[in-house]
């Protein structure tokens, strides 16, 4: 093992989860008014590459335990989670120090570090759970995409080996859906379906309607840089340490700065859509770069200047998210009254503080956010996402060919399709765009009694 690779584990206990709620009837969704949403680049779908999932089998007898493995990027996460929501044991091997000198994640280094750490992490998580080997769990789950393919294969190969050797159920987990479902384990009471999800991470920024397990509809998505990606780029511009991600470093520096120190534009301020952009017409990112380049060397060396730029960027970026979320919140026309913040950037304290809460019409609105440590990549979210699927009788054949570096979550709204939002009839209403490609959410839940375990 590389001398800089640290392995840490913690034993956590949380309360029980509740049975899955039944998804809304199609008639309830059709009763909502229509809204037009564009088709950003992040939500393309190739249905022909869907997983061969065995749906409709008998669910495992509860309570059951799942071993979850996460190796999609730069942290090796393993956890044992029980189907009632109790985290029995966890181990995480961080690679932050390994990538620090490179200013970002190096795929080859990450793959080798996963190989070095994964066996020990599995053993440690099992030991923390009071188990002697993987033979004592009921199922093995692993992230198969999206992510760095060579890293995903390390985890998938180990999960396939364990499931095959011990004759255990195998579940291939969508990394983004695991982030979304984390709120149903970590928050009490867990949000029932359907709910809105703001999924923010280093590579994704999406607003989703989550109707159930494997059932997500894209309302808005990033047109260019995801929020976490933009944080990383600005952190590099300010020469901050980004080995463990530029977001935490920039957020920490922003606390010391004045958010009005550097005037910066808010992207798409007058664009009536639910999509996100931090580079629209070369505005926010370019404005930050120009502010730094035009400053003298003496200014750039000043802690106050750097903190001011960081705070100003964060203020403008989060204001952009606020405006999109406020518009979606005030356009609600049917069931969802809960917003779930998920993904690594959801650990940002300022984002949590500024996310809109009560609706203007006084209707109830609940915001749900997992604890910061469960927002970032970890084995718990993989095990829990698998547990949710296993309750519906969803399993996969143990096969490394499940690995998919690119794997969009959910399907975009199609032309003529009824949507879960109503938009005021005025001249700012977005025009409907024609559907140019098929949309399909995959994997899907069984059609018979799909949303309930009771």
| Residue partners of 429: CB distance under 8 A and separation at least 6 | 36, 272, 423
Q: What are the tokens at 255? A: 């606390």
- Give me the mean pLDDT over the 104-119 stretch: 95
Q: What's the gap between Cα 66 and its chain centre?
A: 20
pLDDT at 101 over 90: no
Residue 196 CB neighbours (<10 A): 24
- pLDDT greater at residue 84 or residue 358: 84
- Provide the domain count of the chain: 2
Indicate if 62 and 106 belong to the same structural domain. yes
- Assigned domain for 422 exists: no
Query: Containing domain of residue 260, as a range?
Result: 221-366
- Assigned domain for 198 exists: no
Give the model confidence (pLDDT) of 154-171 as tens digits: 999 999 999 999 999 999
| Cis amide leading into 194 (omega within 30) | yes
- Assigned domain for 208 exists: no
Indicate if 68 and 118 belong to the same structural domain. yes
Indicate the pLDDT class of residue 97, thresholds 50, 70 and 90: confident
Give the model confidence (pLDDT) of 191-202 as tens digits: 999 999 999 887
- Assigned domain for 434 exists: no
Residue 225 CB neighbours (<10 A): 21
Give the model confidence (pLDDT) of 384-427 as tens digits: 999 999 999 999 999 988 999 999 898 876 544 544 444 332 32
- Assigned domain for 160 exists: yes
pLDDT for position 50: 37
Indicate if 179 and 90 belong to the same structural domain. yes
pLDDT for position 333: 55
Indicate if 23 and 156 belong to the same structural domain. yes
pLDDT for position 334: 52
| Residue partners of 396: CB distance under 8 A and separation at least 6 | 51, 52, 53, 54, 170, 171, 172, 402
Question: Are the CB atoms for 33 and 421 separated by under 8 Å?
Answer: yes
Give the model confidence (pLDDT) of 274-283 as tens digits: 899 887 556 8
Indicate if 148 and 34 belong to the same structural domain. yes
pLDDT at 20 over 90: no
pLDDT at 89 over 50: yes
pTM more than 0.85: no
What DSSP line would sit under 305-319, residue for residue?
HHHHHHHHHHHHHHH
- Assigned domain for 81 exists: yes
- pLDDT greater at residue 441 or residue 296: 296
pLDDT at 56 over 70: no
Indicate if 229 and 360 belong to the same structural domain. yes
- Assigned domain for 197 exists: no
Indicate if 149 and 242 belong to the same structural domain. no
Strand pairing partners for 96?
Answer: none
pLDDT for position 421: 46
Give the model confidence (pLDDT) of 306-353 as tens digits: 999 999 999 999 999 888 888 887 775 555 788 899 998 888 889 888
Give the model confidence (pLDDT) of 237-290 as tens digits: 999 887 667 888 999 999 999 999 999 999 888 888 889 988 755 688 889 999
- Assigned domain for 214 exists: no
Indicate if 351 and 384 belong to the same structural domain. no
Q: For residue 332, give the CATH number of its domain.
A: 3.30.420.40
Indicate if 394 and 318 belong to the same structural domain. no
Q: What are the tokens at 44? A: 């393309």
pLDDT for position 46: 34
| Residue partners of 134: CB distance under 8 A and separation at least 6 | 67, 122, 126, 140, 162, 165, 166, 168
Indicate if 323 and 281 belong to the same structural domain. yes
For the chain, the average pLDDT equals 78
Give the model confidence (pLDDT) of 58-87 as tens digits: 678 899 999 999 999 999 999 999 999 999
Which of 328, 349, 366 is the endpoint of a domain?
Answer: 366
pLDDT for position 18: 28
Indicate if 66 and 133 belong to the same structural domain. yes
Indicate if 54 and 93 belong to the same structural domain. yes
């Amino acid at each position: 093992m590389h001398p800089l690779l640290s392995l840490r584990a913690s034993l956590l206990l949380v309360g029980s989860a509740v049975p899955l709620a039944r998804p809304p009837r199609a008639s309830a969704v059709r009763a909502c008014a229509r809204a037009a949403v564009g088709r950003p680049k992040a939500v393309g779908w190739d249905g022909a590459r869907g997983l061969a999932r065995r749906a409709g089998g008998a669910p495992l007898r509860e309570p059951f335990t799942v071993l979850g493995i996460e190796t999609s990027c730069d942290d090796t996460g393993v956890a044992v989670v029980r189907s009632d929501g109790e985290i029995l044991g966890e181990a995480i091997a961080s690679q932050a120090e390994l990538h620090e000198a490179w200013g970002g994640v190096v795929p080859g280094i990450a793959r080798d570090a996963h190989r070095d750490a994964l066996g020990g992490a599995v053993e440690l998580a099992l030991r923390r759970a009071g188990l002697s080997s993987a033979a004592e769990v009921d199922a093995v789950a692993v992230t198969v995409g999206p992510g760095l393919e060579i890293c995903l294969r390390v985890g998938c190969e180990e999960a396939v080996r364990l499931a095959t050797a011990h004759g255990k159920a195998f579940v291939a987990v969508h990394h983004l859906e695991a982030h979304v479902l984390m709120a149903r384990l970590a928050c009490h009471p867990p949000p029932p379906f359907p709910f809105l999800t703001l999924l923010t991470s280093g590579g994704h920024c999406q607003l989703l309607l989550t109707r159930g397990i494997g059932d997500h509809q894209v309302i808005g998505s990033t047109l260019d840089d995801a929020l976490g990606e933009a944080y990383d780029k600005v952190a590099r511009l300010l020469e901050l340490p980004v080995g463990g991600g530029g977001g935490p470093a920039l957020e920490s520096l922003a606390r010391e700065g004045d958010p009005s120190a550097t005037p910066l534009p808010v992207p798409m301020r007058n664009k009536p859509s639910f999509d996100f952009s931090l580079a629209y017409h070369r505005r926010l990112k370019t404005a930050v770069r120009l502010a730094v380049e035009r400053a003298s060397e003496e200014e750039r060396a000043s802690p106050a200047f750097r903190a001011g730029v960081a705070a100003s960027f964060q203020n403008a970026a989060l204001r952009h998210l606020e405006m999109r979320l406020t518009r979606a919140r005030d356009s609600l026309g049917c069931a969802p009254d809960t917003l779930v913040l998920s993904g690594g950037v959801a650990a940002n304290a300022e984002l949590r503080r500024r996310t809109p809460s009560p609706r203007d019409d006084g209707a109830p609105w609940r915001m749900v956010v997992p604890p910061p440590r469960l927002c970032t990549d970890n084995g718990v979210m993989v095990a829990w996402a698998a547990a949710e699927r296993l309750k519906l009788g969803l399993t996969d054949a143990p096969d490394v060919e499940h690995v998919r570096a690119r794997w969009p979550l959910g399907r975009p709204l199609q032309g003529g399709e009824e949507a879960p939002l109503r938009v005021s009839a005025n001249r700012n209403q977005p025009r409907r765009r024609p559907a140019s490609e098929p949309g399909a959410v995959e994997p899907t839940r069984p059609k018979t009694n799909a949303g309930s375990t009771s």
